[in-house]
Amino acid sequence: MNSSHQVFRSALFLGAATFALACGSAPAVAASPDPQAYDLKSQGLETSLRVVALKSGRPILAPSRLLAGRKAPPLKGRYTAIEAYRALLAGSGLTLAEVGETVVVRAANGPDEAAAPKDEPQSTEIVVTGSRIRGAPPAAPVRTLDRTDIERSGYADVGEVVRSLPENFAGGQNPGVLAGAAVSNVGNQNTTNASSVNLRGLGSDATLVLVDGHRIAADGAFQAPDISAIPMAAIQRIEIVTDGASALYGSDAVAGVANFILRKDYDGAEFSERIGGATDGGGLQQTYSALGGRIWSSGHALVSIQYTRQDAIKASQRDFTVAAPPVDDLLQPQTQIAAFANLGQDLAPWASLHLDGLYSDRRTGFGWEEEVGGFFYNQSTRAQAYLAAPELDLTLPGSWTGSIAGALSGSDDPAPLTYAGGFSGVRYRNAAQSVEAGASGPVIDLPGGALKLALGGGYRHETFGYHQTGQPVWTGAREVSYFYGELSAPLIGPGQDVPGVHALDLTLAGRAERYSDFGATTNPKVGLRYKPLDGAVLRATWGTSFKAPQLIQTAESNTLFYYPAAQLGGTTGTALLTYGGNPNLKPERSNAWTAGVDLSPPQRPSLRLSATYFHIDYTGRIVQPVNDLGSALTSPTYAPFVTPNPSVQLQAAAIANAAAFYNLAGTPYDASDVVALVQDRYVNATAQKISGVDLSVSDRFDLAGGGLDLQVDATWLRIVQQTTVTAPSAGLTGTLFNPPKFRLRGTAVWTRGPLTLSGALNHIAGEADTGVTPAVPIAAWTTADLTGTWRFQRPAGRLTGLEVSLAVLNLFDKDPPFARGAGAQLPGVNFDSTNASAIGRFVALTLRQRF
Distance CA 231, CA 235 (A): 7
| Non-local CB neighbours of 670 within 8 Å, separated by 6+ positions | 574
Percent of the chain with pLDDT over 70: 89
Distance CA 235, CA 771 (A): 40
DSSP 15: H
Report the candidate in 498, 648, 652, 504 with the shortest Cα–Cα distance to residue 578: 652
Distances (CA, A) of 352 to 259, 297, 395, 438: 22, 13, 9, 15
Residue 562 near residue 665, CB atoms below 8 Å: yes
Q: Which uninterrupted H or E stretch holds 89?
A: helix 81-89
Has residue 30 got a pLDDT over 80?
A: no
Helix (H, G, I), strand (E, B) or coil at 771: coil
| Non-local CB neighbours of 393 within 8 Å, separated by 6+ positions | 37, 78, 351, 352, 353, 354, 401, 402, 403
Has residue 268 got a pLDDT over 50?
A: yes
pLDDT band at 297 (very low <50, low <70, confident <90, very high): confident
Q: Which strands make up the sheet holding 142-146, listed edge to edge?
A: 142-146, 235-241, 256-262, 207-211, 214-215
Has residue 829 got a pLDDT over 70?
A: yes
Residue 211 near residue 358, CB atoms below 8 Å: yes
Of the listed ranges 55-69, 487-501, 628-642, the least confidently predicted one is: 55-69
| Mean pLDDT, the chain, integer | 87
The residue count for the chain? 851
Distance CA 829, CA 47 (A): 52
| Non-local CB neighbours of 415 within 8 Å, separated by 6+ positions | 191, 192, 220, 379, 380, 381, 426, 427, 428
Has residue 396 got a pLDDT over 60?
A: yes
Of the listed ranges 49-58, 108-117, 341-350, 704-713, the least confidently predicted one is: 108-117
Q: What is the mean pLDDT of residues 533-555?
A: 94
Q: Which uninterrupted H or E stretch holds 756?
A: strand 755-764
pTM: 0.84
Of the listed ranges 84-88, 102-106, 246-250, 782-786, the least confidently predicted one is: 102-106
| Non-local CB neighbours of 717 within 8 Å, separated by 6+ positions | 200, 201, 690, 691, 692, 733, 739, 740, 741, 742, 743
Packed helices 45-56 and 81-89: angle between N→C axes, nearest 10 degrees: 170
pLDDT tens sequence across 489-526: 999 988 888 999 999 999 999 999 999 999 999 999 99
Q: Which uninterrupted H or E stretch holds 46?
A: helix 45-56
Distance CA 51, CA 81 (A): 11
Q: What is the model's pLDDT at position 83?
A: 81
Has residue 183 got a pLDDT over 80?
A: no
DSSP 729: P
pLDDT tens sequence across 571-604: 999 999 999 999 999 999 999 999 999 998 988 8
Burial bucket for residue 276 (CB in 10 Å: 0-12, 13-18, 19+): buried
* DSSP of 524-582: EEEEEEEEEETTEEEEEEEEEEEEPPPHHHHHSPPEEEEEEGGGGT-SSSEEEEEES--
Distance CA 541, CA 508 (A): 10
Please determine, looking at this structure, whether the domain spanning 142-549+585-625+683-850 carries the CATH number 3.40.50.300: no
Strand partners, 141: none
Burial bucket for residue 469 (CB in 10 Å: 0-12, 13-18, 19+): exposed
Q: What is the model's pLDDT at position 101?
A: 59
Q: What is the mean pLDDT of residues 200-208?
A: 94
Phi first, then psi, for residue 5 (nearest 5°) are: -70, -35
235-241 and 285-296 beta bridge pairing: unpaired
Distance CA 518, CA 546 (A): 13
Distance CA 330, CA 312 (A): 7
Strand partners, 501: 498
The dihedral region occupied by 421, where left means phi > 0, alpha psi between -120 and 50, and beta the remainder, is: left
Has residue 74 got a pLDDT over 90?
A: no
Has residue 17 got a pLDDT over 80?
A: no
Residue 9 near residue 58, CB atoms below 8 Å: no
* DSSP of 683-702: EEEEEEEEEEEEEEEEEEEE
Instruction: Pick 702 or 106 by higher pLDDT.
Output: 702
b/e sequence 9-32, b meaning 16+ C-beta within 10 Å: ebbeebbeeebebbeeebeebeeb
Percent of the chain with pLDDT over 90: 63
DSSP 5: H
Strand partners, 411: 385, 430
Q: What is the mean pLDDT of residues 177-203?
A: 73
Distance CA 512, CA 480 (A): 10
Q: Which uninterrupted H or E stretch holds 272?
A: strand 268-278
- Residue 368 is which amino acid? W
Q: What is the model's pLDDT at position 65?
A: 59
Domain ranges, ordered by start, for the chain: 3-107, 142-549+585-625+683-850
Distance CA 46, CA 64 (A): 9
Q: What is the model's pLDDT at position 688?
A: 96
pLDDT band at 549 (very low <50, low <70, confident <90, very high): very high
Of the listed ranges 59-73, 261-275, 760-774, the least confidently predicted one is: 59-73
pLDDT tens sequence across 209-248: 999 999 999 998 877 899 998 988 889 889 999 999 999 9
Domain 3-107 class? alpha beta
* DSSP of 586-651: --EEEEEEEEEEEE--TT-TT-EEEEEEEEEEEEEEEE-S---GGGTTT-GGGGGGEEES--HHHH
Q: What is the model's pLDDT at position 36?
A: 77
Q: What is the model's pLDDT at position 380?
A: 86
Q: What is the model's pLDDT at position 72?
A: 84
Residue 827 near residue 315, CB atoms below 8 Å: no
Has residue 480 got a pLDDT over 80?
A: yes
Residue 373 near residue 265, CB atoms below 8 Å: no
Q: What is the mean pLDDT of residues 269-290?
A: 95
Has residue 5 got a pLDDT over 60?
A: no
- Residue 509 is which amino acid? A
CB atoms within 10 A of CB 3: 11
Report the candidate in 716, 717, 720 with the shortest Cα–Cα distance to residue 688: 720
pLDDT tens sequence across 729-766: 999 999 999 999 999 999 999 999 899 999 999 999 99
SS (H, E, C) 798-809: HHCCEEEEEEEE
pLDDT tens sequence across 656-709: 999 899 999 999 999 999 999 999 999 999 999 999 999 999 999 989 988 999
Half-sphere exposure for 362 (CA within 13 Å, toward CB): 32
Has residue 15 got a pLDDT over 80?
A: no
Report the candidate in 237, 10, 52 with the shortest Cα–Cα distance to residue 146: 237
pLDDT tens sequence across 359-389: 999 999 888 887 787 778 888 888 999 999 9
Report the candidate in 703, 657, 704, 697 with the shortest Cα–Cα distance to residue 677: 657
Torsion of CA 835, 840, 843, 846, to 10 degrees: -30
Strand partners, 446: 449
Q: What is the model's pLDDT at position 591?
A: 97
Distances (CA, A) of 694 to 277, 282, 717, 744: 33, 36, 9, 10
Strand partners, 810: none
Distance CA 239, CA 161 (A): 13
329-331 and 334-348 beta bridge pairing: unpaired
Distances (CA, A) of 409 to 34, 35, 430, 655: 33, 31, 8, 37
The dihedral region occupied by 161, where left means phi > 0, alpha psi between -120 and 50, and beta the remainder, is: alpha
Has residue 19 got a pLDDT over 60?
A: no
CB atoms within 10 A of CB 601: 14
